A and B are shown apart, each in its own frame.
Chain A
């Protein structure tokens, strides 16, 4: 064999970058939406919380009304898919060597992250349609102008939480990622200012720096008042930037 002359195989070419990212985004979104556990966290639990809080408001009046609760539930859903879902899926992909394999394909590291982000946005779109629709049925009446801000805030929030999720998944074991991501989601949802607004006075104001509180405030301001809450959006953007830089430094493929 050695030293023979032969026609070399044709040079293999990658598909164009946008096609690779689109293909991977849709591939991951399909996997997520077919996964029962992911659906439970992304849609069913937020839907149950929405209905539960609405019922509590009707009965006791201690819980705020649907106009406050519905945007909070959207935040809970965004955190579920962008943070918890992305972190757990990525953590196990890392454990099974899937990330390492995909990093050797034309998708590469950048395409993989962009594809995952696209998948998260696809899932969030489904969540907004389902949960927003349920909210409307229950009487939610968002400011129409604010819906434009809502989409912008959700994209920044998704970027921040996806980066945080990938940072977690890329630095600790899959089992630890599973535990931390679930606990963090419950804490941020219950007490982190995502579902219900926090008290802005005293030492509690420090909690406003949490990404969950920033997302909650920005989404509520958009849908209730039709405003863009600049400071919460800047806080979210700072979280996104910090998490992306940290993930670039510490994330390992296997």
Chain B
């Protein structure tokens, strides 16, 4: 049977999650305020957002660990909160805090979890792919953070899942281990497996993601492909590609001059005494450039240097997560 690799394997619609009670002193706190999200087979869906944005809660609702206060979750076509072993066998989960028993050795744990599945991923192959052999017989509590991460990833994959949730899979990994994990994620994607992951590493998100959801205060504030979000490579005339423009000011600008600027300006972190370097996050057309030049002319400023830079996911993240 052949299916479209873009078939949805996870759909969240209007998912809300609240804690507390109206009658209690603290009242009700809404963690998720209506999250809509779709993840597809053979794609990497990345959820990013500042701390407390609701990333892990979104994953917990999607995995069936938390029951949403409102909205619907369809995981491989079923409600995960009510689902049985059949659905859970098709999904792999790597929790943010690992979820690993501390006194057990990795080989014991992985062998045990493999026994819960009918046709698990061959353990030796997984050991080789994640380079686990050196510490398979060491208690998990004695492993480094990166080694624990790799064991948790192996535990998520041992059942040969069709969809895998990875909460911060590369946290605490050295560059070599991170590359191992990236390669494995690429392999999973090529096998038609859906991957939903959260990360704080925006470079990693840009590198891996087929689609990105940016969460803030419990809602999705922006989503799309990396190209759509950064404006790079957009080929339709309604949404022309935008660029980040950076210019070096030869003098200090007054607050009045800055207030007149046609765009929001960001002071680059590498500014020094010799002159401030300013960034304009999104120049989308020659008209934008003309209005910027007109402003320079009005305030009598001739930049010492002007350059265009490709916008990154990090630029978009800072844009939307600004208070």
Contact A106:B85 (CB < 8 A) given known A6-B2, A15-B118: yes
Interface 9-mer from A79-87, A96-104, A140-148, A219-227: A96-104
Q: How far is the CB of A155 from chain B (nearest CB, A)?
A: 25
Q: How far is the CB of A13 from chain B (nearest CB, A)?
A: 4
Which of A5, A27, A254 is within 8 Å of B3, CB to CB?
A5
Task: Give 1 or 0 for each of A161-176: 1 = CB within 8 Å of chain B CB.
Answer: 0000000000000000
Q: Judging by beta carbons under 8 Å apart, are B117 and A8 in contact?
A: no
Task: Give 1 or 0 for each of A1-35: 1 = CB within 8 Å of chain B CB.
Answer: 11111111111111101011001100100010001
Q: Judging by beta carbons under 8 Å apart, are A100 and B210 in contact?
A: no
Contact A10:B88 (CB < 8 A) given known A101-B99, A104-B65: no
Q: Judging by beta carbons under 8 Å apart, are B100 and A17 in contact?
A: no
CB nearest neighbor in B for A20: B116
Counting CB contacts under 8 A, is A111 at the interface? yes
Bound CA span A116–B30, Å: 34
Interface residues of chain B: helix, strand, loop or mixed (majority): loop
Task: Give 1 or 0 for each of B70-89: 1 = CB within 8 Å of chain A CB.
Answer: 00000000000000111011
Q: Judging by beta carbons under 8 Å apart, are B90 and A96 in contact?
A: no
Q: Judging by beta carbons under 8 Å apart, are B115 and A104 in contact?
A: no
Q: How far is the CB of B175 from chain A (nearest CB, A)?
A: 25
- Contact-size category for A: 35 or more
Q: Judging by beta carbons under 8 Å apart, are A1 and B113 in contact?
A: no
Q: Judging by beta carbons under 8 Å apart, are A2 and B43 in contact?
A: yes
Counting CB contacts under 8 A, is A119 at the interface? no
Counting CB contacts under 8 A, is B1 at the interface? yes
Q: Judging by beta carbons under 8 Å apart, are A31 and B85 in contact?
A: no
Q: Judging by beta carbons under 8 Å apart, are B89 and A97 in contact?
A: no
Q: Judging by beta carbons under 8 Å apart, are B155 and A11 in contact?
A: no
Q: Judging by beta carbons under 8 Å apart, are B113 and A105 in contact?
A: yes
Counting CB contacts under 8 A, is B191 at the interface? yes
Q: Judging by beta carbons under 8 Å apart, are B1 and A7 in contact?
A: yes
Q: Judging by beta carbons under 8 Å apart, are B65 and A15 in contact?
A: no
Bound CA span A96–B63, Å: 18
Bound CA span A4–B40, Å: 12
* Chain A neighbourhood of B6, CB < 8 A: 2-4
Which residues of B from 24 to 48 have beta carbons under 8 Å from A?
40-43
Question: 19 extra interchain contacts, Cβ-Cβ under 8 A, other than A1-B42, A14-B86, A105-B113?
Answer: A4-B4, A6-B3, A6-B5, A6-B42, A6-B192, A12-B159, A13-B89, A14-B118, A15-B117, A23-B112, A23-B116, A27-B112, A96-B102, A97-B98, A97-B100, A104-B88, A106-B85, A111-B85, A254-B65
Chain B positions near chain A (C-beta within 8 angstroms): 1-6, 40-43, 63-65, 84-86, 88-91, 93, 95-104, 108, 112-113, 115-119, 155, 159-162, 189, 191-193, 210
Chain A positions near chain B (C-beta within 8 angstroms): 1-15, 17, 19-20, 23-24, 27, 31, 35, 92-93, 96-98, 100-108, 111, 253-254
